Amino acid sequence: MKITDIFEKEGYSLSFEVFPPKTDTVFESVKAATEKIAELSPSFMSVTYGAGGGTSRYTVEIAENLRKKTNVPVLAHLTCVSSTRETVKRQIEAIKNAGIDNIMALRGDLPPQLENTDRSKWDYRYAVDLIRDIVSGGGDFCIGGACYPEIHPESPNQHEDLTHLREKVEAGCSFLTTQMFFDNNLFYNFLYKAREAGIKVPIIPGIMPITNANQVDRAIKLSGSFMPQRFKSLVDSFGGMPEAMKQAGIAYATDQIIDLFANGIKNVHVYSMNKPEVAQSICRNLSEIIRKA
Ligand code: FAD
């Protein structure tokens, strides 16, 4: 099923992002965690992809397992930053052969170990180049792209960022998912500006439940997201009490989701971090609001 068909349905829904294992040894436990999350009947699940390509096989294996064992539509991520056209073509074929209809087309970030590698053999510069290749490959995929309410860290300003975002949509992206944010006003402002810039496709807000204090620095470093004082106070008060921090982080994410639904957003994407208990708590908190897929 294509992700864009999901947005046609009535009611409010959640989708969940999971990440593939980095090694064989944890493959089964990651697979089991993703299956547990699928039991919550999210509107879809996305499986991330390592930008270095190291876990590429696992992305498709985890996504294919979900497709075969559950009714949940699946979105396989694909990055292009250090890839050749040949490796991308093979990965797209693997996604197709796994029966997956949806690809999240990303540039990715160069892992530190590849910083000094000869880049002349790599064929891609931006996600838009990958989107064009997926479209011209003729695989009839529903293609998603990433967007940044707080501007992508490499962009000089929002105007340029939105110009390039519109190029991705014009190239064939039929929905967008945002980077995590902790202040919904940043999302509402971004949505308004994206619409003004002529970007009309569905834009799905991405919410990251922060469930332990150590996650905070990593999340900010990865995303550059602004931490509102309300959230900082929560970490200051409960960061040293793991179970209390988990409860408070889930409550904060739930609160963000309810506000998004109340302001007209129909689907929210939750960065589950492969934690079924976190996904379950959020679904329980919203049990009277969200529809089952
Ligand atoms: P692009 O769309 O290529 O944009 C990157 C930068 O280049 C932006 O600043 C943009 O404005 C600029 N730009 C774009 N086109 C041009 C142009 N023609 N000329 C000049 N500048 C241009 N990473 C992973 O490794 N694996 C994942 O599975 C993954 N999933 C993600 C899911 C979501 C929802 C999000 C928000 C991010 C995800 N990322 C993932 C991280 C992502 O790969 C990084 O944020 C990366 O830095 C940018 O990827 P992009 O696809 O947005 O790149």
Q: What pLDDT, on the 0 to 100 scale, is given for residue 293?
A: 54
CA–centroid distance, residue 109 to ligand 1 (Å)? 8
- DSSP codes, 91-102: HHHHHHHTT--E
Contact 75, 117 (CB under 8 A): no
Residues 116-139: pLDDT tens digits? Answer: 888 888 999 999 999 999 999 999
With beta carbons less than 8 A apart as the criterion, state whether 248 and 209 touch: no
Give the list of residues 6+ apart from residue 236 with CB closer than 8 angstroms, or none: none
Cβ 106 under 6 angstroms from ligand 1: yes
Report d(CA 233, CA 237) in Å as an integer: 6
Ligand 1, pocket-test mutation among 164, 169, 221, 274, most atoms within 8 A of CB = 164
Domain over 3-292 is classified CATH 3.30.160.100: no
Spatial distance between the Cα atoms of 43 and 9, rounded to a whole number of angstroms = 10
At 56 the pLDDT is: 77
pLDDT in tens, 43-83: 999 999 986 556 678 999 999 999 999 999 999 999 999 99
Query: Do the beta carbons of residue 131 and residue 32 sit within 8 Å?
Result: no
Residues of the chain with pLDDT under 70: 51-55, 292-293
127 pocket-lining for ligand 1 (C-beta < 6 Å): yes
pTM of the model: 0.97
Measured in Å, residue 130 CA sits from the centre of ligand 1 at: 11
Closest atom, ligand 1, to C-alpha of 163 = 11
Neighbours of 157 (CB within 10 A): 9
Q: Which atom of ligand 1 is nearest to the CA of 148?
A: 36
Measured from the CA of 154, which atom of ligand 1 is nearest?
A: 9
CA distances from 236 to 11, 211, 214, 243, 249 (A): 36, 13, 12, 14, 12
In the chain, the amino acid numbered 175 is: F
Is residue 56 a contact partner of residue 50, using CB atoms and an 8 Å limit? yes
Q: How much is the pLDDT for 51?
A: 63
| 279 Cα–ligand 1 center, Å | 26
Of these residues, 8, 10, 17, 86, which one is catalytic? 17
Q: Which of 145, 270, 157, 262 is nearest to 203 (CA)?
A: 145
The reply to whether 17 belongs to the active site is yes
Spell out the domain ranges in the chain: 3-292
